[in-house]
C-alpha cells in the first residue's frame, strides 16, 4: 500500500505545470510589487513634509542672510530708500529664485520690493505684525504678488535694537511643483524598482536552479531519500552538528554505538556538549581545522574518530564526525605499548648489567681483587637503594618497575635522573591508568634525555606529589630549553625538531592528559625546561574517565 501511495505522489509532482524557476519568478515579482506599493504609501507623506520643510528652511536662510547685511542695516538706520538696498535685494532674489525679498522698517514701510512702485508703502498680507515685535517665523498668506510661503526675520542694529524686518517669499505654485516633482520621483523609483525586482527574481530563479544543479524539487526529494539510505547503511557512525552545536544528523551505526555506551537514542536537536560533554566538535567549529584518527573513549568504549568542519562560502556552518568502535584494537594496542615499555626497560638494565660484567671480568683478569670487592658492593648498594626508594614510595608495581627501568636507561646515557623523596603513590592503580601515566612520564623523561644530548650538565628531576586529591607530576631538565617558535608546535602530531618520522611522543602524552582530565603547564628558558601535569587522583583510582 505504501508503495502505491508513493507512486501516486510522485506522479502528481511530475504532472505539475509550473517549474521551480517559474514559481520563484512569480512569487518574487509579487513580493517586490507589494513591497514597493507599501513603501510608496509610507514615504509619500514623509517626502512631502520633507520637501515643504526644505522650502521653509531655504526661505529662512535667505531672510536671515539679508537681515545681517550691512547695506540693509545702513539704509534702515539712515531711513533712506536707496537704490543700493533695492539692487542688493533684487540680486538676492534672482540668485535664490525667491518670489520676493522685501525689507521694511519698524513701522512696516517697504524699503525694497520687486515692483519699485510699491516701495514706500506699508507691507500687505496681515502676517507681518509678529516680526515687527521681534519674532522670527514662517507663514502662508496672500500679498500683492499672490499666495506665497513667507519667512520673516527681524533686523537689529549693533546695539541689539530692532530697526526693521525682512520678508522672503516663495510662490506656493513653486512649492506645489516641488511636491509634485518629489512624488513623481518616488513613482519613477518605484517603477524602476518593480522592473529591477522582476529582473532580479528571474536571475534569482536561474541562480537557484544552477545551485541545485538544474534539479527540480521532486528530483531533489529523490536524492535526499537516496542520501538518507546511504547514510543509514554505512557501517561507521556518523554525527553532524550545526554552528550552534545542535545535533542535526545521526545514522543507525552511531545510534547503536550510543546505545551500547548507555546514551539516549534520541539525540537529534540536543546540544552536543550536553549529550557528549567531552566532545571536541566545538573545537573543530571554532578552529575550522580537521582532526583525524583521534582515539577517544565513550563511557568505557574506545572509538576512533575523524572530525571535519562543514564550510560553506568560506564560513564554518557546522561539523561532522565519523567514528567506529575500536575498543578491542585499542586494548591490544595498549597492551603492546606496555610490553614495549617493559622490553625497553629490561634492555636498558641488561645493557647496563653487561657493561658491569665486562668491568668485573677485566678486574678479575688483572687480579685487582682488592678493588673488585668495593666495586661490586657499590653496585649492589646503588641498585638496592634505587629499588628501595622507588618501591617504598610507589606502590603500583607497573609504574615502579617502569621508573626503575628509566633510571637504568638514564645512567646508560650518562644522565643523572633523580626521583624526589616526597614522590608517593600509596596504592595500585588500574592497568589502563598505569598505562596512561607511563605514557605521560615516559615521554617527558625521554624528551628530557634527548634534550640533554649536547649539554655539559645532564640532570633530570622527577617529582610525583599528591595534594588535596590531585596528583602533580613535574619533570625538569638542565637542557638548553625550547625555542619560542616551537613552544606552540611541540604538541602537534608529527612535529619534531629532531628529524622526520618523529613528533608523536608529546602528542600522545597530551592525549593521555586529556583522557585523565588533567592540565599541563610548561616553562622554559636557557637553563632548562619544566613540565608540570596535574591529574585528578581520585578519578584515577576509579579508572579512566569517560570521553566522547
Q: Is 317 helix (H, G, I), strand (E, B) or coil?
A: strand
Q: Can you give the pLDDT at residue 402?
A: 78
71-80, 415-424, 495-504, 526-535: which has the minimum mean pLDDT?
495-504
Residue 463: which of 441, 439, 432 has the closest Cα?
A: 441
pLDDT of residue 14: 43
Residue 3 has pLDDT above 70, yes or no: no
Mean pLDDT (whole number) for 97-116? 87
Asked if domains 219-325 and 331-541 share a fold, the reply is no
Determine the pLDDT at residue 154: 92
8 Å CB contact between 36 and 190: yes
The span from the CA of 336 to the CA of 95, in Å, is 98
**How far is it, in rounded angstroms, from Cα 301 to Cα 258?**
10
Q: Which residue has the higher pLDDT, 456 or 309?
A: 309
Out of 320-329, 402-411, 458-467, the most confident range is: 458-467
Most confident of 91-100, 146-155, 380-389: 91-100
Percent with pLDDT over 70 in the chain:
74
CA dist 411 to 282, 387, 421, 446, 527, Å? Answer: 45, 14, 19, 13, 21
Which of 208-212, 266-270, 460-464, 469-473 has the weakest average pLDDT? 208-212
pLDDT in tens, 488-539: 777 777 666 665 545 567 777 888 888 888 888 888 888 888 999 998 877 6
Question: What's residue 516's pLDDT?
Answer: 81
Closest alpha carbon to 538 in 469, 473, 471, 472: 469
DSSP 99-122: SEEEEEETT-BBS--SSGGGTTSB
Residue 67: pLDDT over 50 = yes
Asked whether 105 and 163 are in contact (CB, 8 A), the reply is yes
Give the mean model confidence (pLDDT) for residues 260-278: 82
Q: What is the mean pLDDT of residues 233-243?
A: 83
Q: What's the burial of 424, exposed, middle or buried (CB within 10 Å: 0-12/13-18/19+)? A: middle
Mean pLDDT of 29-56: 72
Secondary structure in 3-state letters for 373-417: HHHHHHHHHHHHHHHHHHHHHECCHHHHHHHHHHHHHHHHCCCEE
**What's the pLDDT at 166?**
92
Q: Which residue matches cell numbers 566522547?
A: 548
Average pLDDT, integer, range 87-111: 87
Position with higher pLDDT, 230 vs 311 = 311
What DSSP state is assigned to residue 138? E
Residue by residue, DSSP assigns 208-267 as HHHHTTT--HHHHHHHHHHHHHHHHH-SSEEEEEETT-BEEEE-HHHHHHHHHTT--S--
pLDDT of residue 5: 35
Q: Is the pLDDT of residue 227 over 80?
A: no
At 342 the pLDDT is 54
Continuous segment of H or E residues that includes residue 153: strand 146-156
Residues 384 and 86: their CA atoms lie apart, in Å, by 123
Question: What's the fold here for domain 331-541?
Answer: Heat Shock Protein 90 (3.30.565)
Alpha-carbon dihedral angle through residues 432, 438, 443, 446, given to the nearest 10 degrees: -160
Domain 19-214 has CATH 3.30.450.20: yes
The mean of the pLDDT values for the chain is: 76
pLDDT at 250 over 70: yes
Does an H or E element contain 141, and which?
A: strand 137-143
Domain extent listing, the chain: 19-214, 219-325, 331-541
Three-state SS for 536? strand
First vs last C-alpha separation in the chain: 42
Contacts of 359 (CB under 8 A, 6+ apart): 375
Q: Is the dihedral of CA 442, 448, 451, 456 positive or negative?
A: negative
In which element (H, E) is residue 146 found? strand 146-156
Tens of pLDDT along 352-381? 666 667 667 776 777 766 666 666 666 655
Q: Which three cell numbers stand for residue 270?
A: 540536543
- Non-local CB neighbours of 423 within 8 Å, separated by 6+ positions: 393, 394, 462, 463, 464, 465
Q: What's the pLDDT at 207?
A: 78
Choose between 401 and 462: higher pLDDT.
462
Q: What pTM was estimated for this model as a whole?
A: 0.39
Confidence of residue 323 (pLDDT cuts 50, 70, 90): confident
How does strand 519-525 pair with strand 528-536? antiparallel
Cα–chain-centroid distance for residue 385? 56
What average pLDDT does range 26-30 have in this prediction? 74
Q: Using a CB cutoff of 8 Å and minimum separation of 24, what contacts does 20-25 make?
A: 20/205, 20/208, 20/209, 20/212, 20/216, 20/217, 21/205, 21/206, 21/208, 21/209, 22/205, 24/201, 24/204, 24/205, 24/208, 25/198, 25/201, 25/202, 25/205
What angle, rounded to 10 degrees, do the helices at 20-67 and 83-96 form? 170
| Residue 546's pLDDT band (cuts 50, 70, 90) | very low
Res. 279: pLDDT tops 70: yes
Instruction: Return d(Cα 466, Cα 451) in angstroms, integer.
Output: 27
Please write the tens of the pLDDT for every residue from 179-218. Answer: 667 667 767 777 777 777 777 777 877 777 777 777 777 7
Q: Of 47-51, 270-274, 496-500, give the lowest mean pLDDT range.
A: 496-500
Say how far apart CA 492 and CA 232 lie, in whole Å: 34
Residue 245 is predicted with a pLDDT of 87
Average pLDDT on 405-424 reads: 78
Q: Ranked by mean pLDDT, which of 25-34, 224-233, 252-261 comes out on top?
A: 252-261
Question: What is the spatial distance between Cα 184 and Cα 18, in angstroms, rounded to a whole number?
Answer: 37
- Give the DSSP letter of residue 547: B
Q: How many CA atoms lie within 13 A of 32 on its CB side?
A: 21
Q: Cell triple for residue 524?
A: 622554559
d(CA 509, CA 518): 11
Per-residue confidence (pLDDT) for residue 372, from 0 to 100: 66
Is 219-325 in CATH node 3.30.450.20? yes
Amino acid at each position: 500500500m505504501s508503495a502505491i501511495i508513493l507512486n501516486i505522489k510522485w506522479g502528481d509532482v511530475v504532472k505539475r505545470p509550473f517549474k521551480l524557476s517559474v514559481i520563484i519568478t512569480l512569487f518574487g515579482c509579487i513580493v517586490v510589487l507589494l513591497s514597493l506599493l507599501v513603501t510608496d504609501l509610507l514615504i509619500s507623506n514623509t517626502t512631502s513634509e520633507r520637501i515643504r520643510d526644505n522650502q521653509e528652511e531655504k526661505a529662512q536662510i535667505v531672510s536671515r542672510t539679508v537681515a545681517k547685511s550691512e547695506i540693509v542695516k545702513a539704509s534702515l538706520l539712515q531711513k533712506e530708500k536707496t537704490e543700493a538696498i533695492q539692487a542688493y535685494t533684487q540680486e538676492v532674489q534672482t540668485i535664490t529664485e525667491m518670489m520676493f525679498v522685501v525689507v521694511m522698517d519698524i513701522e512696516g514701510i517697504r524699503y525694497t520690493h520687486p515692483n519699485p512702485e510699491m516701495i514706500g508703502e506699508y507691507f500687505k498680507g496681515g502676517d507681518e505684525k509678529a516680526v515687527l515685535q521681534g519674532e522670527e517665523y514662517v507663514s502662508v498668506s496672500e500679498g500683492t504678488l499672490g499666495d506665497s510661503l513667507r519667512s520673516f526675520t527681524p533686523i537689529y542694529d549693533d546695539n541689539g535694537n530692532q530697526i526693521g524686518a525682512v520678508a522672503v517669499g516663495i510662490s506656493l505654485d513653486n512649492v506645489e511643483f516641488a511636491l509634485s516633482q518629489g512624488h513623481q520621483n518616488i513613482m519613477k523609483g518605484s517603477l524602476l524598482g518593480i522592473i529591477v525586482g522582476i529582473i532580479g527574481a528571474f536571475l534569482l530563479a536561474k541562480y537557484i536552479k544552477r545551485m541545485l544543479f538544474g534539479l527540480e524539487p521532486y528530483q531533489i526529494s529523490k536524492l535526499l531519500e537516496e542520501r538518507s539510505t546511504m547514510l543509514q547503511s554505512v557501517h561507521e557512525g556518523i554525527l553532524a552538528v550545526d554552528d550552534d552545536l545542535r545535533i542535526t544528523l545521526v545514522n543507525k551505526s552511531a545510534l547503536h554505538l550510543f546505545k551500547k555506551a548507555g546514551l539516549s537514542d534520541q539525540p537529534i536537536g540536543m546540544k552536543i556538549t550536553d549529550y557528549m560533554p567531552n566532545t571536541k566538535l566545538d573545537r573543530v567549529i571554532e578552529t575550522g581545522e580537521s582532526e583525524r584518527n583521534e582515539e577517544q573513549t565513550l563511557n568505557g568504549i574506545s572509538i576512533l574518530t575523524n572530525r571535519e568542519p562543514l564550510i560553506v562560502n568560506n564560513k564554518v556552518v557546522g561539523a561532522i564526525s565519523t567514528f567506529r568502535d575500536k575498543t578491542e584494537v585499542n586494548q591490544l594496542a595498549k597492551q603492546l605499548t606496555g610490553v614495549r615499555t617493559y622490553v625497553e626497560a629490561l634492555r636498558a638494565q641488561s645493557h647496563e648489567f653487561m657493561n658491569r660484567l665486562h668491568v668485573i671480568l677485566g678486574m678479575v683478569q688483572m687480579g685487582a681483587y682488592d678493588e673488585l670487592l668495593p666495586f661490586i658492593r657499590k653496585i649492589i648498594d646503588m641498585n638496592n637503594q634505587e629499588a628501595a626508594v622507588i618501591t617504598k614510595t610507589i606502590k603500583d608495581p607497573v609504574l615502579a618497575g617502569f621508573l626503575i627501568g628509566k633510571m637504568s636507561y638514564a645512567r646508560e646515557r650518562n644522565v643523572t635522573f633523580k626521583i624526589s623523596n616526597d614522590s608517593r603513590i600509596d596504592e595500585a592503580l588500574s592497568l589502563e591508568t598505569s598505562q596512561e601515566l607511563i605514557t605521560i612520564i615516559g615521554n617527558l623523561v625521554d624528551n628530557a634525555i634527548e634534550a640533554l644530548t649536547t649539554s655539559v650538565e645532564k640532570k633530570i628531576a622527577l617529582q610525583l606529589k599528591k595534594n588535596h586529591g590531585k596528583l602533580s607530576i613535574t619533570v625538569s631538565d638542565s637542557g638548553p630549553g625550547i625555542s619560542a617558535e616551537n613552544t606552540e608546535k611541540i604538541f602537534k602530531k608529527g612535529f619534531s625538531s629532531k628529524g622526520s618520522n618523529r613528533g608523536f611522543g608529546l602528542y600522545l602524552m597530551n592525549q593521555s592528559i586529556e583522557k585523565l582530565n588533567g592540565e599541563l603547564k610548561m616553562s622554559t628558558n636557557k637553563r632548562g625546561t619544566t613540565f608540570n601535569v596535574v591529574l585528578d587522583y581520585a578519578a584515577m583510582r576509579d579508572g579512566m574517565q569517560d570521553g566522547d
